[in-house]
Structure 1
Amino acid sequence: MAKPTAGKEKPKKAEEKPKKGSDEELRHIVRILNTDLAGKRQVHMALTGIKGVGRRCAKIFTERAGVDPNATLGLLPDAEIDKLKKVVEEDAINILPVWMVNRRGDIETGKDIHIMGMDLNMTLREDLDLMKKMRSYKGLRHERGLRVRGQKTRSTGRTGAIVGVSRKREGAPAAGSAAKE
């Protein structure tokens, strides 16, 4: 009799694809605005990895830089990546229409600005701290960890172990009293 071989076979090695000349030049990580972007993705989709840059902003940035939005980011030459960096880091506010910027009428400067990258996290934190200091309604809700935007809180958003109503068991007290007698 032959022995069953199920599960005892060695895994087959993956066949290696012949490398193209362009694969050797692929940069797996491209750094723009202190953010690591995936070099394997298309330019306009890779730019959405920057916080504060969506698909529409990315499309505008690639058009202004003169870069093909469907090209692979890691295969772009240095000159095109530098153009893209310059557009994203320096010219963003001048390029985007007013309705697209994420901070219209800034509290400190009064200007329309578009914040991206780590500055966005810092600005959000400062805004929350300011609301808490002013003791505004939204600030108090943030402080207490409650819903801020008017949602109902009676039945949802509960945290902790106890949810719902607990009932006393009917059989437990009767068994305890029967044991005493």
Structure 2
Amino acid sequence: MIYLFESKLPETKSVYFGLRSIYGIGKKRSFLICKKIGLSLNLKIKDLSSTQINQISKVIESSGYILANDLRRLVLLSKQRLISIKSYRGLRRKKGFPVRGQRTHTNARTAKKIR
């Protein structure tokens, strides 16, 4: 079991898809990390050596990405800021309505469930 940045990496998946399980790393960042280290995209996480795991963590730390709990906190603070300044988006978020202009006459079910 490998833990990186407060998330468990699935051992049966490849490195490319496994890194995407870390909150804040998507397709492009995962590809760039694998490319910097020189790892094959098809290499499984269970086949990584300890030096390769250390290299992955060093590359992620040196690149300055905001990940995991820091990113979650940042997103939450930005949502709270919108609510506190009473912007249109903040009011919609507070009421539980769709924020980005979606239709509400019949299709606002998902936004109301999230609330």
TM-score by length of 1: 0.57
Match for residue 146 of structure 1 among 94, 97, 113: 97
Letter aligned with residue 31 of structure 1: Y
TM-score by length of 2: 0.87
If asked which structure has higher relative contact order (CA below 8 Å, sep 6+), I would say 2
The reply on whether 1:86 has 2:37 as its aligned counterpart is no
- How large is the RMSD of aligned CA atoms in angstroms? 1.7
Match for residue 78 of structure 2 among 119, 127, 147: 127
Q: Which runs of 4+ in 1 moved over 6 A?
A: none
Query: Gapped runs of 5+ residues in structure 2?
Result: none
Cα distance between partner residues in 1 of 2:103 and 2:17: 36
**Fraction of identical pairs, as percent:** 25
Partner of 1:115, secondary structure, is coil
Query: Gapped runs of 5+ residues in structure 1?
Result: 1-28, 94-113, 161-181
The reply on whether 1:117 has 2:88 as its aligned counterpart is no
> Displacement of 1:52 after TM fit?
1.5
Which entry has the higher C-alpha Rg, 1 or 2? 1
Q: How do 1:14-29 and structure 2 match up within 5 A?
A: 29=1
> Displacement of 1:35 after TM fit?
0.7
